[in-house]
């Protein structure tokens, strides 16, 4: 019977496994956002939560234990200063895991492990875009796109402040209940400037949603002058368009999304049988 068997082994010895997890926690504290497999991300998050709790204690015993665990001595001051101040009011939940599909080759489940409220927080980026998208949808019901562009992003911060104080299913709001819930979640433990920063990001994305079709249309007209059969440009997930600063799902070393190349030949009877196959006409 499997009594006392806990946690994952990762097909490694105990010393190798612990060294691997220490290395992942150190990399997480250094970059604040890493990509790894889903089982490793879950065990790394469990240990990172405990180390951050040591940093919040700030005593001598916690300092010695954290310095013995981390593989880079430069991360110890960052733990007891930056992370301790950032998560001083947060009772727990300092990490977040985003599932990222399966890895090509061995089909292992991938994930992005990040620290909450880091400078490149994915939840922050996605929530700001969701707020901008739903505000544009609401304004397009009453105004034309050109009028919205001329008016700008007036009233964005007022909408965010109103939605932040509303309940989940309370009627009368502009945002959907799930978007409102995400908005309240990302602003709960941030400072007073967070609402203004989120409104700026939402306003930038609103301008992008209205200006990107015009930019694509002008690019398409320019390309049609050279090639009349030029196709209409289509946007891929996570692709930056003209005028956009950067995609939301983006790390420091490139985009997270894996773009699979199109197959060279489609599987049909000709590719299977070759010259032996003859098309019969009725």
pLDDT number for residue 259: 47
Residue by residue, pLDDT tens for the chain (282 residues) are 778 777 789 999 999 999 999 999 999 999 999 999 999 999 999 999 999 999 999 999 999 999 999 999 999 999 999 999 999 999 999 999 999 889 988 999 999 999 999 999 999 999 998 998 888 888 888 877 777 777 767 788 888 999 998 888 888 888 999 999 999 999 999 988 999 999 998 988 888 777 777 677 777 778 888 888 777 766 655 555 544 455 455 533 344 444 445 455 544 555 555 555 555 544
How many angstroms separate the CA atoms of 55 and 123, rounded? 24
How many angstroms separate the CA atoms of 16 and 251, rounded? 28
Q: In this structure, are strands 109-115 and 254-255 parallel, antiparallel, or unpaired?
A: unpaired
* Residue 195 near residue 164 (C-beta atoms within 8 A): yes
CA 116 to the chain's CA centroid = 11
How many angstroms separate the CA atoms of 202 and 159, rounded? 11
Residue whose pair of structure tokens reads 């397009």 in the numeric block: 140
For 190, residues 6+ apart whose C-beta sits below 8 A from its C-beta are 117
* Residue 187 near residue 89 (C-beta atoms within 8 A): no
The beta-strand segments (E) located in 47-162 are: 95-102, 109-115
Q: What is the pTM of this model?
A: 0.75
pLDDT number for residue 222: 81
pLDDT number for residue 257: 45
């Amino acid at each position: 019977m499997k009594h006392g068997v806990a946690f994952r082994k990762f097909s490694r010895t105990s010393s190798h496994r612990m060294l691997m997890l220490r290395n992942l926690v150190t990399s997480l504290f250094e970059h604040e956002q890493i990509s790894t497999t889903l089982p490793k991300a879950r065990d790394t998050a469990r240990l990172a939560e405990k180390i951050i709790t040591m940093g919040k204690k700030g005593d001598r015993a916690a300092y010695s234990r954290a310095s013995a665990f981390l593989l880079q001595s430069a991360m110890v001051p960052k733990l007891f200063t930056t992370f301790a101040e950032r998560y001083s009011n947060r009772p727990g939940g300092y990490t977040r895991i985003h599932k990222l599909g399966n890895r090509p080759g061995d089909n292992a489940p991938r994930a992005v492990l990040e620290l909450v409220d880091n400078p490149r927080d994915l939840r922050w980026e996605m929530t700001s875009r969701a707020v901008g998208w739903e505000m544009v949808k609401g304004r397009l019901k009453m105004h034309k796109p050109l009028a919205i562009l001329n008016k700008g992003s007036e009233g964005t911060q007022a909408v965010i402040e109103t939605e932040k104080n509303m309940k989940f299913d309370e009627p009368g709001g502009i945002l959907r209940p799930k978007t409102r819930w995400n908005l309240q979640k990302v602003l709960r433990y941030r400072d007073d400037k967070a609402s203004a920063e989120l409104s700026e990001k939402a306003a930038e994305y609103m301008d992008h949603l209205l200006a990107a079709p015009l930019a694509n249309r002008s690019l398409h007209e320019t390309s049609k002058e050279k090639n009349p059969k030029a196709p209409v440009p289509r946007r891929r997930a996570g692709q930056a368009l003209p005028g956009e600063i950067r995609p939301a799902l983006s790390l420091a070393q490139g985009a997270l999304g894996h773009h699979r190349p199109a197959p060279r030949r489609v599987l049909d009877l000709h590719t299977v049988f070759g010259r032996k196959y003859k098309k019969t006409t009725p």
